[in-house]
Amino acid sequence: MLDPDDPAWLWIGMGIFIDTEYLVAHNLDMERRAKWMGNYLNGLRMYYDMTVDVPPARLEKIQYDHNNTVVHSKGPSIIFALDAVLGRDTFMKIYRKCLREYGGKRLAWREFQRFCEEETGQSLAWFFEQWVRSNDYLCYKIESQDCRPEEDEFVSEVKVRRLGTMKMPIPVKAAFEDGTEQVQRLNRHFDVDSLVFRSRTKLKEAVLDPDKKFAMVDEPVPPVSPAVAETLALGWEGKDSPAVFQAVKGEDIRGSRIWYLLGMELYELGRYADSFECFQKVSSLQPDGQEKFAALGWMGQLMDLQGKREKALGFYRKALEHDPGSAMTHSQYGMKLDRRWVEERLESPFVRER
Smallest CA-to-CA distance from 136 within 157, 167, 105, 161 is with: 167
Out of 132, 163, 196, pick the residue that ends a domain.
132
Check residue 1 and give its pLDDT.
41
Domain that holds residue 36: 8-132
CA–CA distance, 130 with 48 (Å, rounded to integer): 16
How confident is the model over 283-298, as pLDDT tens digits? 999 999 999 999 999 9
How confident is the model over 206-265, as pLDDT tens digits? 999 999 999 999 999 999 999 999 999 999 877 789 999 999 999 999 999 999 999 999
Residue 4, pLDDT above cutoff 60: no
Taking residues 127-149, what's their average pLDDT?
98
- Count up the domains in the chain and report the number: 3
Question: Which residue did the predictor score with more confidence, 354 or 61?
Answer: 61
Q: Is residue 204 part of a domain?
A: yes
Same domain, residue pair 30 and 73: yes
Q: Is residue 353 part of a domain?
A: no
How confident is the model over 293-320, as pLDDT tens digits? 999 999 999 999 999 999 999 999 999 9
Q: Report the CATH number that the domain containing residue 34 is assigned in CATH.
A: 1.10.390
CA–CA distance, 65 with 219 (Å, rounded to integer): 23
Out of 96, 116, 132, pick the residue that ends a domain.
132
Smallest CA-to-CA distance from 140 within 107, 170, 97 is with: 170
Out of 181, 208, 235, pick the residue that ends a domain.
208
Check residue 6 and give its pLDDT.
60
Same domain, residue pair 254 and 288: yes
Of 22-31, 83-92, 329-338, minimum mean pLDDT range: 329-338
CA–CA distance, 135 with 132 (Å, rounded to integer): 8
